[in-house]
Amino acid sequence: MGLIANLTLVFLAGLVTAIATGLGALPFFFTDDISDRWNVVLWGLASGIMVSASVFGLVKEGLAVGTPMDIAPGVVVGVLLVVVSHRVIDGHDFDPKQYAAADYKKLVLILGILTVHSFPEGVAVGVSFADLNLGMGPSVLGFTVPILAIFMTVAISIHNVPEGTAISIPLRAMGVSKWRMVWWSVFSSLPQPIGAVLAFAFVRYAREFLPFGFGFAAGAMVYLVVTEFLPEALEAGENLPMGGKRELTGGVVIGVLLMAPLALI
């Protein structure tokens, strides 16, 4: 397969993760509200999936092509990117309620901020495709796709569902139509396929940086879980018994178990 074909497949994988964000709005087609309990479980599920995918997948693959010292700088840079993205987002006070009412310039600003926020997820997908058509793996549309790439695409897609729900809740309160909630949810993750293509191209043609790339994606993912997903879950469950910690723990355990097969591959 040529370069364009490979880049197209990676872009489509990133696009799948973005579209998955729209699934977070689908419950509102059947109900007017989502219980805090299910919200907490979803965030816990996403947290467990991302941590286990990072450890069992990204870090494991990084150690297969490099040493811990090769991976460590990538982890540090990945964490720093999330720290910077938090500061950028905090410096621009906006929330999903502004999406529907935003003009063109505001949408460009929001998309720029979302690019900073969503980039690590796209990087994780792109890096996982580093050995596309180079090694072992199932055949998909004529491509030999690494198992890690399939797991990571699924993991990021599942992770995006509660984000789509979090975006849809305030939009629902504004009376935004159901299909527009789906669109704005997908919109929030549109930078991911671009990040996936850039990361794939970087590690594919600068193979010496592959351990750094795996470390970067893993560091960013784990730090996102600690600083965003878990606090979001605890905030959603503050009115539940034990502050929702039971539901959060259950979701995390299920998420870890779903990704555990990566450790055996």
Q: Which of 22, 26, 46 lies closest to 236, judged by CA?
A: 46
| Whole-number Å distance between alpha carbons of 66 and 209 | 9
Query: Concatenated DSSP letters for 141-168?
Result: TTEE--HHHHHHHHHHHHHHHHHHHHHH
Q: 139: which strand partners?
A: 144
> Which amino acid type is present at position 173?
A
Give 230's strand partners. none
pLDDT in tens, the chain (265 residues): 678 889 999 999 999 999 999 998 888 888 777 788 888 888 888 888 888 888 888 888 888 888 899 999 999 998 988 888 777 666 555 555 555 555 545 555 555 566 666 778 888 899 999 888 887 777 877 888 888 888 889 889 988 888 888 778 777 777 778 888 898 888 888 889 999 999 999 888 888 888 999 999 899 889 888 888 888 888 888 888 888 889 899 999 998 888 777 666 6
Break the chain down into helix, strand, coil percent, rounded to 5: 80, 0, 15
Task: Give dist(CA 107, CA 35) in Å, integer.
Answer: 30
Contact call for residues 76 and 219 (beta carbons, < 8 A): yes
Counting the structural domains of the chain, the total is: 1
Which residues form the domain of 253? 3-264
202: which 2 tokens?
Answer: 């970087």
Answer yes or no: are the C-beta atoms of 74 and 219 closer than 8 Å: yes
